[in-house]
Structure 1
Amino acid sequence: MAEKKGNVLTTKQETFVRELVSGKSQRQAYKVAYGCETWKDASIDRKACEMFANVKIKARYDELIAECNKKTLWTRERAINELVEMLRDSKEDKNYQARYNSIRELNTIVGLYPKETKEVELNINKPDKDNLKNLISKVKGVKK
Structure 2
Amino acid sequence: MSLTVKQEIFVQRLIEGYSQREAYKFAYDCDNMKDETIDTRASRLLKECKVSARYEELKNELKQKMFYTVEKANEDLEWIKNKAKEDIEYRGIKQANATTYLGAVKQQIDLNGITIKEAKEDIDNVIKFEIVGAKNE
* TM value normalised by structure 2: 0.70
Distance of 1:19 and 1:84 partners within structure 2? 35
Q: CA RMSD in A?
A: 2.1
Aligned identity (percent) is: 36
Distance of 1:72 and 1:35 partners within structure 2? 33
Q: CA deviation at 1:107?
A: 4.0
**Alignment of structure 1 residues 85-96 onto 2, 5 Å:** 85-94=79-88, 95-96=97-98
Tell me the SS of whatever aligns to 2:3: coil
Question: 1:58–1:100: structure 2 CA closer, same or farther, 3 Å change rule?
Answer: same
Q: Which has the higher contact order (CA 8 A, sep 6+)?
A: 2
Q: CA deviation at 1:85?
A: 1.4
**What's the counterpart of residue 37 of structure 2?**
43
1:66 aligns with 2:60: yes
Alignment coverage as a number of residue pairs: 110
Distance of 2:77 and 2:20 partners within structure 1? 39
Equivalent residue letter for 1:83? L
Equivalent residue letter for 1:90? A
Q: CA deviation at 1:72?
A: 0.8
Question: 1:26–1:112: structure 2 CA closer, same or farther, 3 Å change rule?
Answer: closer
Q: CA deviation at 1:102?
A: 2.2
**Alignment of structure 1 residues 1-144 onto 2, 5 Å:** 7-94=1-88, 95-110=97-112, 111=114, 113=116, 114=118
Distance of 1:19 and 1:107 partners within structure 2? 31
Q: CA deviation at 1:47?
A: 1.0
Residues 33-57 of structure 1 show CA distances to partners (whole Å, capped at 9, x for unaligned) of 1121221111111111111110111
Tell me the SS of whatever aligns to 2:60: helix
Distance of 1:9 and 1:44 partners within structure 2? 19
